[in-house]
């Protein structure tokens, strides 16, 4: 379903900044999150995790735990059915159900440090923890695969000896490369031959974590009729349902998922870890079972963003045009196939209109947790590489970095290397806004105290998503419209969806009351991910509201005894086209509906194949202490084509949040792994995310190039802000220090070493 819309003028609700519907509950602490769930008879579940990054599990003995007073049940992989060997969509990527079940609980091998090997349910958390420690596991440690180079080496230890990887269409066995693909456009050899300068660099990045504050949690009850009720903080209740059903091999309709509030996800709460375990423990214990991870478990046992190795080669002619480009992207999938390499490949060169392109991607298995989506999955990593190569080209050619990006910018009609051509997109407008910005036009002053200052700029791209959403509306007697919709609210989507309905209905944002019911009580709605929710669920709300107005017109016609065709609706007022006396506001009509044919409701569901793509441009000023290598970001501006900002304050918040995560990712964050494959910094203390004291105000400039696929011009806005920052910050460090850093994070130790090298020390 693709309809093309003209930009809408004269919007009354869309584009305003009302207080969010869930605001008071959240700031006062009343909102119910997963860890708050309490039901009668509740007991606690805990897991036992592998201390080895790679080991054969020779035996598991739960007898000591089973014998402990207060223990209700124990569980190993033997308690899970053999799940079907099929792929399911978890929102921002596919997961093979059978492998997913082995990730949830290890089978014959532990594949990463922190891999769950057994679980226990007991009367309280303390007892459950003690019992888990008494489960005896005999391991035979195996050689550890630490990174893509080790994984691809000849005679590398194999994580999944039975796995066949799809390598350019061929099924290949005996490999850690789970997938290999190529996109090609034109003739790259010819393009490079026509180039006057070719820059070819290789970059590495470690795994990083999304760093959501709320810990993974699940409460499950398996009842006498073999129906399962689950409460879990998730980006998608239906995803929890389908994954749990797949892993437990039961019908989806026998699972009801209650979506509780979510304290951050950024892609990491699209995948289930605890719900199937809590469900099996509940079945064995005949009690509801609650599980909450601790922070170390979240780092070691959830889904970080892939690290990897990226080579980018770009050729330019002396007239400032990119002639050809190549990218070779090797991502760490973790212990199971399915990294974001396919998405990364779509993003790596998407900001540029290049005639000849070749992009190779590999999905590589390593003994680390299975990677998951993280805000524009794959795009930040590849932009760290491509945006630094572009920066180096401009430095070497003496070109203006903004002008170069403008002259080579993707626009409507540009073909992405993997095939599709862009519809109406706003990269050019966003770059022009950057060129007009106060930040770009204010020269960077020298530091007074010997610190090195630099400025960096980078662009970034994200596809955005469409997909399935449902929205139901009902009109109450007092004119309030109750809305049920299926999207987990991570970033203010109750508000942004309700506002779209309110716009159509001609009432205020708070006259629409949104709720997110359980999975039995609303039609299927995909995960809140891929920046799809305000776009797709908002689209459903638009359609439901439009239908509601049609029904209300009929009711007005019935009241007035005229033909429904004779009823007009505008600015929240129903009126007769012929009789100016016949006029009713939305609420007045609502009060008079009794006796006109029953309650007025509407429902709409969508499955949107396409979404409008997003581009962002970030500018970063920072200063480096040459003595310690410490970097402080001193000014930062995020610009973005936001389509139409439904709630501008939340859009700005998304832009700022993405920039902040990118700053942390570039400068300090990493999975610091030992040779044995153990994450040494699995606490917030040592993981070193930036705090508010490490950041300047992130300035935002919203550029609105309406998305023709959406009635209000909405584009997804929440992911692309993490695409440019790694490039922008890295380029600023280079501008400050005169040294190019190709390995993330660019932390103080690397900067001091890099400067010493530069000075010949």
Residues in the site for other proteins, rule: CB under 8 A? 126, 129-130, 627-630, 632, 667-668, 672, 680-681, 685-686, 688, 690-691, 693-694, 747-749, 752-753
Q: Which is nearer to other proteins, 153 or 680 (CB)?
A: 680
CA angle 237, 239, 245 (to 5 degrees): 105
CB of 756 to other proteins, least distance (A): 8
User: What DSSP designation does 163 have?
Assistant: -
Q: Which is nearer to other proteins, 98 or 125 (CB)?
A: 125
CB of 132 to other proteins, least distance (A): 11
CB of 269 to other proteins, least distance (A): 24
**Kind plus residue range of the DSSP H or E element containing 83:** none
**Kind plus residue range of the DSSP H or E element containing 584:** strand 583-585
CA count, 13 A, side-chain hemisphere, 745: 26
CB of 688 to other proteins, least distance (A): 6
Q: Which is nearer to other proteins, 5 or 672 (CB)?
A: 672
Q: Which is nearer to other proteins, 112 or 238 (CB)?
A: 112
CB of 671 to other proteins, least distance (A): 10
CA–CA dist 737, 211 (Å, integer) = 29
Q: Which is nearer to other proteins, 224 or 675 (CB)?
A: 675
Q: Which is nearer to other proteins, 380 or 629 (CB)?
A: 629
Q: Which is nearer to other proteins, 576 or 682 (CB)?
A: 682
Q: Which is nearer to other proteins, 409 or 667 (CB)?
A: 667
Q: Which residues pair with 57 in a beta bridge?
A: 139
CA–CA dist 320, 172 (Å, integer) = 42
Q: Which is nearer to other proteins, 125 or 167 (CB)?
A: 125
In this structure, how many other beta carbons lie within 10 angstroms of the beta carbon of residue 319? Answer: 8
Instruction: Using DSSP bridges, classify how beta strands 567-570 and 322-334 pair: parallel, antiparallel or unpaired.
Output: unpaired
377 SS3 class: coil
CA–CA dist 339, 553 (Å, integer) = 50
Q: Which is nearer to other proteins, 50 or 242 (CB)?
A: 50
267: phi then psi, degrees, rounded to nearest 5 = 105, -25
CB of 626 to other proteins, least distance (A): 10
Q: Which is nearer to other proteins, 412 or 674 (CB)?
A: 674
CB of 300 to other proteins, least distance (A): 14
Q: Which is nearer to other proteins, 32 or 689 (CB)?
A: 689
Q: Which is nearer to other proteins, 190 or 627 (CB)?
A: 627
Q: Which is nearer to other proteins, 195 or 682 (CB)?
A: 682
In this structure, how many other beta carbons lie within 10 angstroms of the beta carbon of residue 24? Answer: 11
CB of 680 to other proteins, least distance (A): 4
CB of 670 to other proteins, least distance (A): 9
User: What DSSP designation does 367 have?
Assistant: S
Count of H-run helices and E-run strands, the chain: 21, 30
User: What DSSP designation does 500 have?
Assistant: H
CA–CA dist 58, 106 (Å, integer) = 12
CA–CA dist 652, 227 (Å, integer) = 42
CB of 693 to other proteins, least distance (A): 4
CB of 734 to other proteins, least distance (A): 19
CA–CA dist 465, 528 (Å, integer) = 10
CA–CA dist 228, 255 (Å, integer) = 5
- DSSP class per residue in 177-230: EEEEEEEEES-HHHHHHT-SEEEEEEEEE--B----SSPPEEEEEE-TTS-EEE
CB of 685 to other proteins, least distance (A): 7
Residue 444 burial (CB < 10 Å; 0-12/13-18/19+)? middle
Q: Which is nearer to other proteins, 517 or 748 (CB)?
A: 748
The structure tokens 């480009």 sit at 325
CA–CA dist 489, 514 (Å, integer) = 10
Q: Which residues pair with 180 in a beta bridge?
A: 167, 362
173 SS3 class: strand
CB of 600 to other proteins, least distance (A): 52
Report whether 345 contacts 361 (CB < 8 A).
yes
CA angle 523, 524, 529 (to 5 degrees): 135
CB of 739 to other proteins, least distance (A): 16
User: Alpha carbon of 230 to those of 70, 241, 440: distances in Å?
Assistant: 23, 9, 51
Report whether 333 contacts 377 (CB < 8 A).
no
Sequence length of the chain is 761
Q: Which is nearer to other proteins, 132 or 434 (CB)?
A: 132
Q: Which is nearer to other proteins, 579 or 686 (CB)?
A: 686
CB of 296 to other proteins, least distance (A): 8
CB of 690 to other proteins, least distance (A): 6
Instruction: Using DSSP bridges, classify how beta strands 94-96 and 109-110 pair: parallel, antiparallel or unpaired.
Output: unpaired
- State both tokens at 496: 């942004």
User: Alpha carbon of 737 to those of 441, 627, 690: distances in Å?
Assistant: 22, 12, 22
The region, left, alpha or beta by phi > 0 then psi within -120 to 50, assigned to residue 271 is beta
688 SS3 class: coil
CB of 694 to other proteins, least distance (A): 5
* For the chain, the helix, strand and coil percentages under 3-state DSSP, each to the nearest 5: 30, 25, 40
Q: Where does 445-516 have alpha helices with state H? A: 493-505
> Sign of torsion, CA 660 662 665 666?
negative
Q: Where does 453-533 have alpha helices with state H? A: 493-505
CB of 632 to other proteins, least distance (A): 8
Q: Which is nearer to other proteins, 4 or 761 (CB)?
A: 761
């Amino acid at each position: 379903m693709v309809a093309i819309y003209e930009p809408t003028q004269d919007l009354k609700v869309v584009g305003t900044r009302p207080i969010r519907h869930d605001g008071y509950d959240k700031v006062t602490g009343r909102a119910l999150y997963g860890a708050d769930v309490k039901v009668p008879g509740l007991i606690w579940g805990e897991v036992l995790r592998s201390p080895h990054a790679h080991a054969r599990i020779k035996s598991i003995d739960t007898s000591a735990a089973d014998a402990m007073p207060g223990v209700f049940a124990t569980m190993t992989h033997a308690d899970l059915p053999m799940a079907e060997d099929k792929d399911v969509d978890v929102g921002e990527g596919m997961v093979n159900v059978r492998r997913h079940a082995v990730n949830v609980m290890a089978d014959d091998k532990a594949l990463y440090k922190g891999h769950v090997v057994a679980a226990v349910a007991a009367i309280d958390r303390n007892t459950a923890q003690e019992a888990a420690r008494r489960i005896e596991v005999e391991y035979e440690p195996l050689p550890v695969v630490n990174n893509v180079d080790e994984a691809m080496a000849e005679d590398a230890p194999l994580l999944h000896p039975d796995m066949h990887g799809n390598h350019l269409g061929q099924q290949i066995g005996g490999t850690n490369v789970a997938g290999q693909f190529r996109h090609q456009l034109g003739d790259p050899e010819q393009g490079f031959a026509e180039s006057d300068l070719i820059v070819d660099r290789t970059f590495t990045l470690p795994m990083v974590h999304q760093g959501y504050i709320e810990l993974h949690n699940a409460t499950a009850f398996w009842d006498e009729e073999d129906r399962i009720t689950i409460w879990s903080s998730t980006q998608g209740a239906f995803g929890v349902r389908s994954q749990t059903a797949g892993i437990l091999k039961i019908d989806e309709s026998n699972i009801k998922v209650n979506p509780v509030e979510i304290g951050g996800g950024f892609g990491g709460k699209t995948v289930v870890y605890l719900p199937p375990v809590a469900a099996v423990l509940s079945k064995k214990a005949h009690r509801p079972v609650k599980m909450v991870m601790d922070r170390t478990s979240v780092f070691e046992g959830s889904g970080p963003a892939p690290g990897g190795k990226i080579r980018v080669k770009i050729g330019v002619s002396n007239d400032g045009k990119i002639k050809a480009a190549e990218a070779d992207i090797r991502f760490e999938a973790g212990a199971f196939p399915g990294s974001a390499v396919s998405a990364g490949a779509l993003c790596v060169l998407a900001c540029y209109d290049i005639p000849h392109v070749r992009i190779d991607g590999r999905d590589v298995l390593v003994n680390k947790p299975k990677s998951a989506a993280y805000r524009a999955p794959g795009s930040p990593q590849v932009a760290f590489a491509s945006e630094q190569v572009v920066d180096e080209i401009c430095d070497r050619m003496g070109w203006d970095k903004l002008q170069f990006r403008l002259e080579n910018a993707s626009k409507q009609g540009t073909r992405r290397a993997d095939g599709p051509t862009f519809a109406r997109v706003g990269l050019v407008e966003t770059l022009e806004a950057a060129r007009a910005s106060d930040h770009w036009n204010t020269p960077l002053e020298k530091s007074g105290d010997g610190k090195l200052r630099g400025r960096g700029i980078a662009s970034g791209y994200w596809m955005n998503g469409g997909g399935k959403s449902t929205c139901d509306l009902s009109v109450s007697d007092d004119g309030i419209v109750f809305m049920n919709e299926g999207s987990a609210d991570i970033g203010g989507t109750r508000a942004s969806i309700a506002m779209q309905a309110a716009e159509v209905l001609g009432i205020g944002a708070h006259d629409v009351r949104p709720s997110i019911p359980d999975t039995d009580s609303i039609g299927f709605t995909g995960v809140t991910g891929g920046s799809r929710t305000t776009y797709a669920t908002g689209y459903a709300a638009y359609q439901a509201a439009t239908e509601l107005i049609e029904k209300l017109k009929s009711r007005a016609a019935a009241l007035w005894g005229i033909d429904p065709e004779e009823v007009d609706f505008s600015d929240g007022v129903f009126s007769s086209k012929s009789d100016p006396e016949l006029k009713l506001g939305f609420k007045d009509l609502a009060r008079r509906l009794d006796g006109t044919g029953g309650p007025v409701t509407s429902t709409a569901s969508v499955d949107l194949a396409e979404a409008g793509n997003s581009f962002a441009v970030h500018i970063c000023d920072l200063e480096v202490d040459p003595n310690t290598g410490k970097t402080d970001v001193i000014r930062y501006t995020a610009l973005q084509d936001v389509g139409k900002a439904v709630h501008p304050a939340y859009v700005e918040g998304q832009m700022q949040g993405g920039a902040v995560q990118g700053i942390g990712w570039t400068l300090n964050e990493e999975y610091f792994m030992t040779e044995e494959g153990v994450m040494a910094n699995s606490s917030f203390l040592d993981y070193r995310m930036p705090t508010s004291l490490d950041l300047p105000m992130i300035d935002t400039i919203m550029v609105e190039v309406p998305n023709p696929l959406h009635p209000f011009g909405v584009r997804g806005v929440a992911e692309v802000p993490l695409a440019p920052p790694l490039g922008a910050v890295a380029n600023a460090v280079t501008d400050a220090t005169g040294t190019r850093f190709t390995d993330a994070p660019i932390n103080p130790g690397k900067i001091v070493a890099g400067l010493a090298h530069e000075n010949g020390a």
